[in-house]
Amino acid sequence: MDLFSKIKACSELAPILRGLRASGKVVVFTNGCFDLLHAGHVRYLEAARREGDILVVGLNSDRSVRDIKGDKRPILREPERAEVLAGLAAVNYVVRFDEPDPLRLITALAPDVLVKGGDWPEEAIIGAQEVRNRGGRVVRIPVMEGASTSAVIARILERYGD
């Protein structure tokens, strides 16, 4: 599959996933900002992929990242972040969203498995109830200690100043 063909709009991706599920494939969904991809992200996405056959990554838009992380983020713009994610072997599809949370995507894409980091309490995972109501499951994956985009930015600033 070509790198850029992995990046889809929700309206394009939903029928593709329906067909994959109909053929017996298990669709896994996770989401995040994925700004300045690091080893923690890669390990997390590899673990998410092991939960099924097809991994879909919901990517926060630039506006959504700013709303969540503040005006200085994202460091990498949306098209770059999408391309980097699409370049990972574990990732089958990348779909962007502009809302503050991925509930609309989760509802439209109807994944079989919803994955979030272990730092998220289960009751706070957006879309968990919707996935469970369809017979799916929610998986929390342990996060790599000390691996975060904020930590990478802090190290850069410590070494090179503001």
The domains of the chain are located at 3-160
- Neighbouring C-beta atoms of residue 82, cutoff 10 Å: 23
Q: Is the pLDDT of residue 146 over 70?
A: no
Q: What is the pLDDT of residues 85-127, one digit of tens each?
A: 999 999 999 999 999 899 999 999 999 999 998 888 888 899 9
pTM of the model: 0.92
Residue 28 β-bridge partners: 55, 113
Among residues 157, 154, 156, 152, the alpha carbon closest in space to that of 38 is found at: 152
- The yes-or-no verdict on residue 144 having pLDDT over 70 is no
Quick one: 3-160 is in which CATH superfamily? Answer: HUPs (3.40.50.620)
Residues 42-68 pLDDT 10s: 999 999 999 999 999 999 999 999 998
Q: What is the mean pLDDT of the chain?
A: 92
